[in-house]
Amino acid sequence: MSLGEPREHHETIGSTNERARELAEEGAAHGALVTADEQTSGRGRQGRSWATPPGVAIAASLILREFDDLLPLRAGLAVADIAGPSALVKWPNDVWVDGKKVAGILVEAREGWAVLGIGVNVAVDVSALPPDAAAVAGTLGRDESEVEATLTELLDALETRLEQEKAAAITSLRERDALLGKSVRWDGGEGLGAGIDDSGALLVHQPDGTTTALSAGEVTLTT
Ligand code: BTN
C-alpha cells in the first residue's frame, strides 16, 4: 500500500475533504491525497468548522478503498505515534497532548470509498485561532518548516496502523485511552470511561452499576 500518491496540493482551498470526496466519486485510486497550506472552510465533526491557518498545520484528506470499521481509531493512533509518548486518543478520534486537542479526524465514507481527513496543529499559534477552537486546541510545538516532514511521518505511521492486525491496534488504543476513568456524556446517558472492548467500542460504567458499549458512529460524545 502506498499512501499519498498521487497528491494534489493547494495553497488555499475550502476543504480538502470536500475536494477528496469529488476525486473519490470520480474514481481516484486508493492512497490518493489532497493537502492544503490553508483551508478557508475546513470541516469538523458534527457540523463544526475546523481552522487551518496558512503554513502551520497539516490539512490532509486521503482516499481509501480498503479500510475497516476501526479506521478513525487507527488514524488517531497514527497521529498519536508521531505526537509522542504522552499523546492520547480521545475515542473515537481526537488526539490530545497535555489536555489539549492537537489533531482532529473526520472520516466520510460511502459505498466503495472513505475519505480520511486529518488536521494536525504542527506549529499553530493556538491563541490566534477562533475562540471556541483556542479554548481546547494544542499544538505539536514544531517549527513551521517541519510541516511537510511531519506529513511524511504521518503517512508512514498511517501505513503501519492501517495494516496492523485488529487485536494489536486495540491493545495500542487501550494504552492511549484518554477517557479511561474520565467522565463521559453522550446523547443518551453518562458514566465513567471503562476501557475499549475487542471491537473498538468504548466501555462506560453507568451510575446504575451497568456497563454499556458505545459504538463510534452511533453515539456522539458531549464531553
Ligand atoms: C474534528 O475534530 O471535528 C475533525 C476535524 C477534521 C479536520 C480535517 S483538516 C483536513 C480535512 N479537511 C476538512 O475539511 N476537515 C478535515
pLDDT digits (tens, 9 = 90+) for 108-120: 999 999 999 999 9
Instruction: Answer yes or no: is the C-beta of 119 below 6 A from any ligand 1 atom.
Output: yes
For residue 1, is pLDDT > 60? no
How far apart, in Å, are the Cα atoms of 85 and each of 72, 92, 97, 149?
A: 19, 19, 9, 19
The strand pair at 88-90 and 183-186 is best described as unpaired
In short, whether 42's Cβ falls inside 6 Å of ligand 1 is yes
Instruction: Tell me the CA–centroid distance for residue 190 and ligand 1, in Å.
Output: 26
Could you tell me the pLDDT band of residue 2, with boundaries at 50, 70 and 90? confident
Asked if residue 32 has its Cβ within 6 Å of ligand 1, the reply is: no
Instruction: Find the mean pLDDT for residues 105-130.
Output: 95
- With a 6 A CB cut-off, is 189 part of the ligand 1 pocket? no
Kindly tell me if the per-residue pLDDT of 95 is higher than 60. yes
- For residue 223, pLDDT beyond 60: no
3-state secondary structure of 89: strand
From 21, 106, 136, mutation site for ligand 1 pocket: most ligand atoms within 8 A of C-beta? 106
Answer whether residue 222 shows pLDDT above 90. no
Ligand 1, atom nearest to 17 Cα: 12
Q: Is 53 in the pocket of ligand 1 (CB under 6 A)?
A: no
- Per-residue pLDDT tens over the stretch 15-71: 999 999 999 999 999 999 999 999 999 999 988 999 999 999 999 999 999 999 999
Q: Which class is domain 183-221?
A: mainly beta
CA distance 47 to 204: 25
Is pLDDT of 216 > 80?
Answer: no
Contact residues for 76 (Cβ-Cβ < 8 A; gap 6+): 89, 90, 92, 93, 94, 95, 103, 105, 173
Atom of ligand 1 nearest to the CA of 16: 12
- Domain spanning 7-175, CATH architecture: 2-Layer Sandwich (3.30)
Ligand 1 near 117 CB (within 6 A) = yes
Q: What is the best residue among 10, 12, 17 to mutate for testing ligand 1's pocket, by most ligand atoms within 8 Å of CB? A: 17
* Per-domain boundaries in the chain: 7-175, 183-221
* Whether the CB of 105 sits within 6 Å of ligand 1: yes
Q: Which residue has the higher pLDDT, 132 or 160?
A: 160
Instruction: Show Cβ contacts of residue 108 under 8 Å, excluding neighbours closer than 6 positions.
Output: 17, 21, 114, 115, 117
Does the beta carbon of 121 lie inside 6 Å of ligand 1?
no
Which atom of ligand 1 is found nearest the CA of 15?
14
* pLDDT per position as a tens digit, 153-210: 999 999 999 999 999 999 999 999 999 999 999 888 899 999 999 999 999 999 999 9
> How many Å lie between the centroid of ligand 1 and the Cα of residue 208?
36
pTM for the predicted model, two decimal places: 0.95
Pairing, β 33-43 against β 7-13: parallel
Residue 150 above 70 pLDDT? Answer: yes
pLDDT at 217 over 70: no
27 sits in the region (left: phi over 0; alpha: psi -120 to 50; else beta) called left
